[in-house]
Amino acid sequence: MDIQGVAAIVTGGASGLGGATAEMLARNGAKVAIFDLQEEVGQALAEKIGGRFVRTDVIDEASVAQAIQQAEIPHGTARILVNCAGIAPTFKTVGRDFAAHPLDSFRKAVEVNLIGTFNMLSQFAARLAQAEPQGEERGVIVNTASVAAYDGQIGQVAYAASKGGVVGLTLPVARDLAQHLIRVVTIAPGIFWTPMLAGLPQAAQDSLGKQVPHPSRLGKPKEYAQLVHSIVANPMLNGETIRLDGAIRMAPR
């Protein structure tokens, strides 16, 4: 699919992987809507790239429906969706003083990372399925999982489970949406620089980067965005989860 002139939505698009993706899409001519809860940062980026910011809670059906409608007013029906909204709680299954993993934290990770992803993609697809095809397809959905879906570390049980769910839904959703000419691909990033990592000391960031076989550094958000561009452009990429990780396989800790 040609990005030029196409309406696109990026969840979690105010910063990090989503922010880099929103910038990449706008730079290539897309009409970008940023869906996020970070109003100040999201609005600033939207103004910078000539896009639109819509405050959106991805786990709320009404919020997502309203956001999609608001984005359609200036941009028309979106044909590209990139799901980057997510959280990463860290609790062991059994913690200090033999405390069980907080169930609310586990539930929240699943709600945001898995249910939020599905809520967004299903409502997006329901709108897009009614649009006219462009050539041999109507549009593309790109989800974000994590290498934690395959080799989650100690303390990542909720995060790994939620991202594993995103990997698991990729193929069946692609099969569901094939009749509507909508492709679905998931990216599983390794250790990438994000606002969450920015708070760590530089020595800690460097140490994390050295765990990556090659290149031995943290991934750059623009490299995630580069893969999104390739997925959108290549019509045979469908129903697959792609690891973007410099060949890392995460150790237990």
Contacts of 5 (CB under 8 A, 6+ apart): 29, 30, 31
**Which of these, 219, 84, 79, 83, lies nearest to 140 by C-alpha position?**
79
Q: Which is the catalytic residue, given 35, 91, 106, 159?
A: 159
Distance CA 223, CA 115 (A): 26
Angle at 130 between CA 124 and CA 136, to 5 degrees: 95
As to burial, measured by CB atoms within 10 angstroms (0-12 exposed, 13-18 middle, 19+ buried), residue 171 is: middle
Q: Which residues pair with 219 in a beta bridge?
A: 192
Annotated active-site residue 159? The verdict is yes
Catalytic residues: 159
